Structure 1
Amino acid sequence: MNNFYRITLLMVCLLFTSAVTAQLKSQVPAETKAAMGKTIALPESVPQLQRLAAKAYEQDKHRAFVKIMEKLRQLRPLDTGYMYQLVLGYALVDDKTAAYDLMLSMQQQGAAYDFNSTEDSKNIRGTEVYEFVNKLMAQAGEPIGTVENILTLADNVVLPEAIDWDPVNEAFLIGTITDGRILRIGGDGKSTTIFQADNENGMWSVFDIKVDAKRKIFWVSSAALPGFIGYQQKDFGRSALFKFDLESGKLLQRLPMALDGNPHSFANIALADDGSVYVADSQAPVIYVLKPGDESAKLFVASPDLLSIRSLVLNKDNTYLYLSDYSKGLFVVNIKSGQMRPPLMPDTLNTSGIDGMYRWEDSLIVIQNGFQPSRVLRLQLDDKGVEIVEMAALAVAQPVFDNPNFGVIRGDWLYYFANSHWGHVNAAGQASMPVKIIRTRVDEAPNKENPILEEILEQMEKSKSPAADADTEQ
């Protein structure tokens, strides 16, 4: 692929929206325009809208389906699943302009879908625009980057969600949700249970582990939820932080969340240089902070914008806290003022569906399993730490991926769970397959404005035969 062809493809993607709108406006049937222009009173509840959309689709009320899906996209603008359904809705009412515009937006974000896989898209097929964009989207599901297998956890390690590195014992610390175990696992794969939840110690499912190597301790967040084998209904909504000695694994302190009549679920943790512990409460969802010497965590940030907090990360000088919300994307919180807002970022970056998030130098490393395809990205921050200026695709659509979620940075490597047990555990608490730990380098992939698209174009260039190149030059 020569530079002219490469630039042409990029320009098509960047300038396509206005061109296709002018080309296709007249193709939308007048009755469709009129019907879709009518105002329909819709609820603000996502579950209600989902039910209404399913009903409208089943009854072949396609224009109503489109209106409902547009409302869902308004409420959850980063959800590519809703985007996909809305494209099909536009296809069903033969609105090529809207369908192609949305397909382009999805493609620019790196989403991998093949609209040829469903008959619902037949009305928008058969144009050069459709074939071009759909081909790029299908190719976005091809693997990018490399991963290395490190070890496979034992079959009885069920629903591991917490992982950190213990530099004192040179081993991984891993926590489980099903039985509330904390395991120390060396590089040889041998594991030792150093703590087990029971009625006496008052621990439940383990949701996160964070090592404070400077103070030679580690923190664990735990909550009582039905997935825990020792769960009792009377404990629902109870949660606590636990402090352990790093070398011995001995429990040093249990710090329960005060009973206030509301359910709580301490989950992801971030540690500050001064020893403060920031912890997300996924039930609320809000963020609490436990200052050194305090006996209980105090409210730090609460916002109606938050729906499902997954990860917390502090910047180098501890002036900002970054949080990932599974539905709403990334936010940055000013530690001093408590003010929260999304970071500035390229329009092509979709930050929904992030489970694990970690800091490496001046970048955020994110594990994005709520996006299709699952991927690991490096997000380069500006000097102030409030804007994402560039990004790199580290690992995308790897065959070993099956809901990759959490990990830990060691040097220039991200070690992380390649797969998750969610949806793979039977009523007896047994998993259908073990969880693997893999690693990916975080320093080698170059930053790009749109890494997924550029990688696809590079792969297309490599796939061209020498004969084809010779024909092009003649």
Structure 2
Amino acid sequence: MRHFVLILFILSTHLSFGQMDSLRTYYQLSIEAYKAGEYGDFLRYTVRANEIRPNHPALAYNLASAYAVNNRKEEAVSALSTFLRMNASLDYQKDSDFDSLRGYEPYEQLVEQVAQSTKKMTNAQVAFKLSQKENHYESMTYDAGSETFFLGTINTRRIMKYKSGAVEQFLGDEPLLYSIMGLDIDPESNMLWICSAALPEMQGYSDTLQNRSSVFGLELTTGKVKFSYPIPEAILGDLISTGNGAALASDGLGNKLYELRPDGFSVFADLSGTLLNLQGLSKSENQLYISDYLTGLYSLNLKTKSLKKLRDNDLYSEKGTDGLLSYQGHLIGFQNGTQPKRVTGVRFDAHKAVQMKLIEQNSSLKGEPTQGVISGNTLYYIATSAWDAYEDGKYQPDTAADLEIRTLDLVQFLIE
């Protein structure tokens, strides 16, 4: 038996107290049933736990095991394949729970799935590099008119701008400005939208700032603050301009979408009954695309506010998508919650994935992909955000680990 250790307080993050109690109960019952050799109950309780908290590697692995020891081969392979898309490794071959699957062709084919899922590759090129010795970069946007990139930092709570090889501070030293999580430009009002959240990794953090977020609007050419305000009891993860002087922001704590305007905010949609950890946002016409870091991708009709799950069709991992971009029927996802980390381009038809192309996978460089921006037909994205540079709460980066902004021609790669 090689069941993952389930740390309940981590696993149950973003669940209600009632869900946490149920999860704890079903998980404990499942393990007790397994130890007692009561495999029917082991399966029943594991299925229920996985329904409460989907796409957790520990539960996904146990589910595959539960199907296997109940001699439900097809379901066992399907569950194990789902787990391996989250965490690609051949360690499962050492587990006697899967002995009944040895020689079963779909099971043996999982070896090739792991090989493909761990291959080191990238189809993008380096656009430019920035030192992360001082600044840990997380978010970005681009102003095509001035050919300027704007990048937000986590630890130093700054907006930096980059143009023609030169980088300088655009905004900082604002008490209400926390770790910069999302940036977007509203060209109609010549404004840079910013959302930030108080994270323990940032300078000046204290427990009194827990679960605080804020919104800023800057005059794009001068950096002058046009407005700013707090949003309490929220961890804003991304932001997207919707035009007409408004924007939408995702809250990964309360799982709400906030509508932002210069004079304040309101709840646009409360998705807490369905989603567990809202992150990336992208818009195409009247559809808002949402990444839930734990459960996958969704489409929200901006007029009716109806929410639909985008089916993965076994083409990619539902777990671990941070930033999200849309381009001509494709969604580009920055997956830093999978092992290995990936950047994917997935084409959807009728809310179902029909094709997946890997932009990048299993980079040998430190750091992780987080967010990007599309200008015309060109993708730019943060490939090596320094989330691995914290030790005991302090930012201690490898001085050789620069930030890489990578670029890709989307027409050539995704369409042709």
TM-score range, shorter chain: 0.7 to 0.9
Cα shift readout 1:276-319 (whole Å, capped 9, x = no counterpart): 2111122212011124xx5111110002102111111111x3x2
- Aligned equivalent of 1:212: 186
**What is the deviation of 1:92?**
6.1
- Aligned equivalent of 2:279: 310
Selected match of 1:102 from 71, 75, 79:
79
- Aligned equivalent of 1:240: 214
Q: 1:119 to 1:180 in 2, by over 3 A?
A: same
- Aligned equivalent of 1:378: 345
Counterpart code for 1:229: Q
**What is the deviation of 1:192?**
0.6
**What is the deviation of 1:47?**
6.3
**What is the deviation of 1:210?**
0.9
**What is the deviation of 1:350?**
4.3
CA distance in 2, matches of 1:388, 1:92: 31
Counterpart contact for 1:110–1:137, Cα < 8 Å: no
1:301 aligns with 2:269: yes
**What is the deviation of 1:398?**
3.6
Selected match of 2:289 from 305, 315, 322:
322
Counterpart contact for 1:241–1:254, Cα < 8 Å: yes
- Aligned equivalent of 1:273: 243
SS at match of 2:109: helix
CA distance in 1, matches of 2:185, 2:141: 7
- Aligned equivalent of 1:404: 369
Counterpart contact for 2:23–2:49, Cα < 8 Å: no
CA distance in 2, matches of 1:51, 1:74: 11
Bigger drift between 224-233 and 345-354 goes to: 345-354
1:178 aligns with 2:168: no
- Aligned equivalent of 1:123: 99
1:156 aligns with 2:133: yes
CA distance in 2, matches of 1:187, 1:414: 18
Cα shift readout 1:410-457 (whole Å, capped 9, x = no counterpart): 333322222333343123322244432223343334579xxxxxxxxx
CA distance in 2, matches of 1:53, 1:442: 49
SS at match of 1:102: helix
Counterpart contact for 1:158–1:430, Cα < 8 Å: no
- Aligned equivalent of 2:323: 356
- Aligned equivalent of 1:391: 355
Counterpart code for 2:200: P
Between the aligned residues of both structures, percent identity stands at 21
User: 1:33-182 maps to which residues of 2 (within 5 A)?
Assistant: 44-45=19-20, 48=24, 52=28, 63=39, 66-79=43-56, 82-91=59-68, 96=73, 98-103=75-80, 112-115=88-91, 118-120=94-96, 123-124=99-100, 126-129=102-105, 132-140=108-116, 141-143=118-120, 145-182=122-159
The structure with the larger Rg is 1
**What is the deviation of 1:48?**
2.5
- Aligned equivalent of 1:14: none
Q: 1:299 to 1:104 in 2, by over 3 A?
A: closer
Counterpart code for 2:290: L
**What is the deviation of 1:207?**
1.1
Structure 2's unaligned 5+ residue stretches are: 1-17
Counterpart contact for 2:120–2:362, Cα < 8 Å: yes
**What is the deviation of 1:152?**
3.1
Selected match of 2:230 from 231, 256, 264:
256
Selected match of 1:428 from 385, 394, 404:
394
RMSD value, Cα:
3.4
CA distance in 1, matches of 2:30, 2:71: 19
SS at match of 2:60: helix
Counterpart contact for 2:315–2:353, Cα < 8 Å: no
Counterpart contact for 1:209–1:219, Cα < 8 Å: yes
CA distance in 1, matches of 2:91, 2:395: 37
Cα shift readout 1:84-119 (whole Å, capped 9, x = no counterpart): 343245556776554334345667x69734245534
Counterpart contact for 1:375–1:397, Cα < 8 Å: yes
**What is the deviation of 1:241?**
0.9
CA distance in 1, matches of 2:72, 2:186: 56
Q: 1:158 to 1:119 in 2, by over 3 A?
A: farther
Counterpart contact for 1:403–1:420, Cα < 8 Å: yes
**What is the deviation of 1:335?**
1.5
Structure with the higher fraction of residues in strand conformation: 2
Counterpart code for 2:256: V
1:339 aligns with 2:315: no
Cα shift readout 1:206-255 (whole Å, capped 9, x = no counterpart): 11111223322201112233332112433333322101111122222113
Counterpart code for 1:249: G
Length-normalised TM-score, structure 1:
0.72
1:439 aligns with 2:407: yes
CA distance in 2, matches of 1:104, 1:266: 32
Aligned pair count reads 391
SS at match of 1:297: strand
Q: 1:133 to 1:282 in 2, by over 3 A?
A: same
CA distance in 2, matches of 1:442, 1:62: 52
Selected match of 1:193 from 164, 169, 193:
169
Q: 1:81 to 1:157 in 2, by over 3 A?
A: farther
- Aligned equivalent of 1:39: none
